[in-house]
């Protein structure tokens, strides 16, 4: 359960109708199998001890007594299992019969949760046999094999809380309880449950699997919870219907695992309970709490506690190494088109609001300035303005290569914008002379002097034309502070400010694929093939000598760190563990750790640059605007984060 991960299992055992002894042995066997897979929460189907399709046999005293006997047997046989197990059985309480979920851990029966909503339309007419448990709140008296009596709570308002992981609070509901307009799981989540388990017996008809999948997924998203759905399968009576064993595991709207239908078995997945708890803290409009508030109306929730060992969950869950980029091309194309529209609409509003007819962009022949120009062209088209009023300024200097220079010129030409060339070599050399800097000393002054000269030129050309300077810097550069303060750091509207570098490439690729201009596509593809570089140091033999990722690290790693730090607020040790899985075969552990140190150091040190950013459109869930997204003090200390990074072992295998 390290880092908030916990393995869970939804199981469909083989059953025989009304054969409690056989069913109990299958439940025990499957629970132990799930335990060998590392599962800490195991859920079986509705009424699995008796089977769901017993019909009028549910009125038989012998069946009910045998069900209780086998429940105690299951508890005894799973006493050494390091997991909490939920099984279904019919239970008599105060003269009424209830369809219940029993929670079991380390040989102890923790509690019973009765079903609330009973269908009266299915083939077994469930309301014929059972009573709704909506008002039930008390204790069931059981006797174990030694004749010892024990009181076990029964209530639809029970929370099963793990002492070793307090964020893990489990609530149970049964089949139909999920399908009603206001499911009990809503109240469960409100009172603090981070995981909902559903013991179900959902029959199969055409199209029902899609509806079931959508229902489980949307409920987990609505409640910011994990949802573990186990349903009856082969072995139930097929007198009128068939049961498919369609098990589902969801987390916050995402289906993590799903079983094949019509095959009984175990479905496992790794839930991230800490991630759910973190998200709930961030969502101030969602009132999730396990504490009863003053004046709160009934029902009042009771907690029962269980204990599990604290150990590292062996993860089988996969993590996307490019979390900002959809993996499926169709979805990626839709996302790219949407982002380009958001960027263009933001700029369109700014241009219209200030009655601006002109825009100025520093065009380097690199990815970021290319994307900024494409967005600006789209905004001008939306406004019905002449593209010639976009001035693309190329400013060659000491590090400019023929490749990037020609690409910049060709790009401007194919897009129909006005190209202006200002060679800044002489101006920069004069500046170096004025400040007494040796031009042979290729230090930060040498580099930033060029960047600030370019910004000055852009601003002044914008003044000449009555236009605004369009910023080109992206989210990844802002996160790392990879920008010259008051150089490329500054503009009058920054269209790329919330687009990470890994996504910039795909936006340009999408434009190249869809522009319908062969020559424009050709130049865009060459820009994509050009190494990322600020081109501030002289080239070697006409080739770029300064490659950004050699200096600051691979952007795919930094984007991964950024996403999970800001979006999910994960600590370094957890992000490192996830990165080992995501980048397996791409980067070794030592490399991941090396650049993680760089990321945290630069992220904290460079906040002062982000505290005074120009306006720009937010396109995703991660952004660093000081006005709406990242209210971080410029002088925050990185000690705790860097200390944790130092404790990580670059040779450790997850």
Q: Is 46 a catalytic residue?
A: yes
Q: Based on the domain organization, do 298 and 351 belong to the same domain? A: no
Question: Residue 437: inside a domain, yes or no?
Answer: yes
621 in any annotated domain = no
pLDDT band at 654 (very low <50, low <70, confident <90, very high): very low
Question: What distance in Å separates the CA atoms of residue 376 and residue 226, rounded to the nearest whole number?
Answer: 42
- 212 plus 300 within the same structural domain: yes
Residue 249's φ and ψ, nearest 5 degrees, are: -130, 120
Residue-wise pLDDT for 421-447, tens only, equals: 999 999 999 999 999 999 999 999 999
**Whether residue 238 is found in the same domain as residue 374:** no
Tokens of 206: 């055409």
Q: Is the pLDDT of residue 286 over 70?
A: no
**Residues belonging to the chain:** 654
Residues 214 and 339 in one domain: no
Kindly state the percentage of the chain with pLDDT values over 90.
84
Torsion of CA 339, 344, 346, 351, to 10 degrees: 170
Q: What mean pLDDT is predicted for residues 53-73?
A: 95
In a domain, 565, yes or no: no
Burial (CB count <10 Å: 0-12, 13-18, 19+), residue 337 = middle
Residue 562 covered by a domain: no
What average pLDDT is seen over the chain? Answer: 93
From the list 48, 175, 268, 336, the catalytic residue is 175
User: Catalytic: which of 7, 40, 68, 115?
Assistant: 115
User: What mean pLDDT comes out for the span 266-285?
Assistant: 90
In the numeric block, the tokens 């079991």 are attached to 104
Q: Which residues contact 398 (CB under 8 A, 6 or more apart)?
A: 425, 428, 450, 536, 537, 538
pLDDT interval class at 254 (50, 70, 90) = very high
336 plus 265 within the same structural domain: no
CA atoms within 13 A on the CB side of 452: 12
Whether 129 is in a domain gets the answer yes
Question: Domain holding 349: CATH number?
Answer: 3.40.50.620
3-state secondary structure of 222: helix
Residues 111 and 150 in one domain: yes
Catalytic status, residue 336: no
Of 493, 528, 553, the residue at which a domain comes to its end is: 553
Q: pLDDT tens digits, residue range 79-128?
A: 999 999 999 999 999 999 999 999 999 999 999 999 999 987 655 678 88
Domain boundary among 505, 522, 553: 553
Alpha helix (H) residue ranges in 163-204: 176-179, 184-190
Q: Is the pTM of this model over 0.85?
A: yes
Output the domain CATH number for residue 143: 3.60.110.10
Q: Looking at the structure, do residues 283 and 357 belong to the same domain, yes or no? A: no
Active site residue 65: no
Are 288 and 381 in a shared domain? no
Residue 624 lies in a domain: no
Q: Assign 299 a pLDDT band (cuts: 50, 70, 90).
A: low
How far is residue 159's CA from residue 301's CA, in Å, rounded to a whole number? 7
Q: Given 46, 66, 204, 236, which residue is catalytic? A: 46
**Residue 402 maps to a domain:** yes
Is residue 633 a part of any domain in this protein?
no
Q: For residues 446 and 397, state if they share a domain.
A: yes
Per-residue confidence (pLDDT) for residue 400, from 0 to 100: 87
Q: How far apart are CA 491 and CA 500, in angstroms?
A: 18
118 and 156 fall within a common domain: yes
Q: Which domain does 20 fall in, by range? A: 2-306
Same domain, 264 and 405: no
In the chain, how many domains are there? 2
Highest mean pLDDT among 541-545, 556-560, 629-633: 556-560
Boundary (domain end) residue, out of 291, 306, 321: 306
Long-range contacts of 400-403 (CB under 8 A, 24+ apart): 400/535, 400/539, 401/535, 401/539, 401/542, 401/543, 401/544, 402/542, 403/365, 403/526, 403/530, 403/544
- Co-location of 401 and 271 in the same domain: no
Mean pLDDT value across residues 70-74 = 97
CB of 189 closer than 8 Å to CB of 178: no
Residue 294 predicted with pLDDT over 90: no
């Amino acid at each position: 359960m390290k880092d908030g991960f916990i393995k869970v299992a939804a199981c469909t055992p083989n059953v025989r109708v009304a054969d409690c002894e056989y069913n109990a042995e299958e439940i025990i066997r499957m629970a132990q199998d799930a335990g060998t897979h590392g599962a800490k929460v195991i859920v079986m189907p509705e009424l699995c001890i008796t089977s769901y399709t017993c019909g009028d046999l549910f009125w038989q005293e012998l069946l009910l007594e045998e069900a209780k006997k086998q429940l105690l047997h299951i508890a005894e046989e799973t006493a050494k299992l390091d997991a909490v197990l939920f099984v279904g059985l019919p239970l008599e309480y105060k003269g009424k019969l209830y369809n219940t979920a029993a929670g079991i851990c380390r040989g102890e029966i923790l509690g019973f949760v009765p079903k609330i909503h009973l269908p009266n339309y299915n083939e077994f007419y469930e309301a014929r046999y059972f009573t709704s448990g909506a008002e039930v709140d008390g204790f069931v008296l059981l006797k174990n094999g030694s004749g010892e009596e024990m009181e076990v709570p029964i209530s639809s308002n029970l929370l099963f809380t793990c002492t070793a992981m307090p964020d893990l609070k489990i609530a149970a509901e049964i089949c139909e309880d999920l399908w009603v307009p206001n499911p009990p799981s809503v109240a469960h989540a409100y009172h603090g449950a981070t995981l909902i388990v559903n013991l179900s017996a959902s029959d199969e008809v055409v199209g029902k699997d899609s509806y079931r999948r959508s229902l489980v997924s949307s409920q987990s998203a609505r409640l910011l919870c994990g949802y573990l759905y186990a349903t009856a399968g082969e072995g139930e009576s097929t007198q009128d219907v068939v049961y498919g064993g369609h098990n589902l595991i969801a987390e916050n709207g995402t289906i993590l695992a799903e079983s094949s239908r019509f095959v009984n078995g175990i479905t496992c997945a790794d839930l991230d309970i800490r991630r759910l708890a973190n998200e709930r803290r961030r969502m101030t409009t969602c009132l999730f709490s396990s504490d009863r508030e003053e004046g709160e109306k009934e029902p009042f929730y009771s907690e029962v506690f269980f204990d599990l060992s604290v150990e590292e969950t062996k993860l089988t869950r996969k993590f996307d190494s490019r979390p900002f980029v959809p993996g499926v091309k169709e979805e990626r194309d839709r996302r790219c088109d949407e982002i380009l529209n958001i960027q263009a609409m933001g700029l369109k509003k700014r241009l219209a609001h200030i009655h601006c007819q002109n825009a100025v962009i520093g065009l380097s022949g690199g990815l970021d300035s290319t994307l900024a120009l494409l967005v600006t062209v789209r905004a001008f088209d939306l406004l019905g303005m002449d593209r010639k009023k976009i001035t693309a300024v190329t400013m060659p200097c000491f590090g400019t290569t023929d490749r990037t220079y020609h690409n910049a010129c060709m790009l401007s030409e194919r897009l129909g914008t006005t190209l202006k060339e200002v060679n800044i070599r002489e101006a920069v050399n004069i500046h170096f002379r004025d400040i007494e800097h040796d031009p042979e000393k290729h230090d930060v002054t040498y580099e930033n002097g060029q960047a600030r000269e370019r910004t000055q030129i852009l601003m002044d050309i914008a003044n000449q034309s009555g236009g605004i300077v369009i910023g080109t810097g992206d989210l990844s550069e802002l996160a790392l502070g990879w920008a010259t303060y008051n150089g490329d750091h500054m503009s009058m509207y920054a269209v790329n400010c919330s687009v990470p570098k890994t996504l910039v490439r795909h936006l340009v690729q999408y434009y190249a694929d869809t522009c319908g201009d062969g020559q424009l596509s050709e130049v865009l593809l060459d820009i994509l093939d050009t190494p990322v570089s600020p081109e501030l140091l002289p080239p070697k033999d006409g080739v770029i000598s300064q490659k950004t990722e050699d200096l600051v690290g691979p952007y795919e790693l930094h984007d991964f760190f950024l996403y999970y730090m800001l979006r999910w607020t994960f600590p370094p040790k957890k992000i490192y563990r996830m990165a080992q899985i995501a980048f397996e075969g791409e980067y070794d552990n030592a490399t991941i750790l090396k650049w993680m140190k760089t990321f945290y150091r630069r992220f904290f040190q460079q906040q002062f640059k982000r505290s005074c950013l120009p306006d720009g459109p937010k396109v995703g869930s991660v952004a660093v605007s000081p006005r709406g997204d990242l209210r971080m003090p410029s002088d925050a200390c990185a000690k705790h984060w860097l200390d944790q990074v130092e404790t990580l072992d670059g040779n450790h295998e997850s």
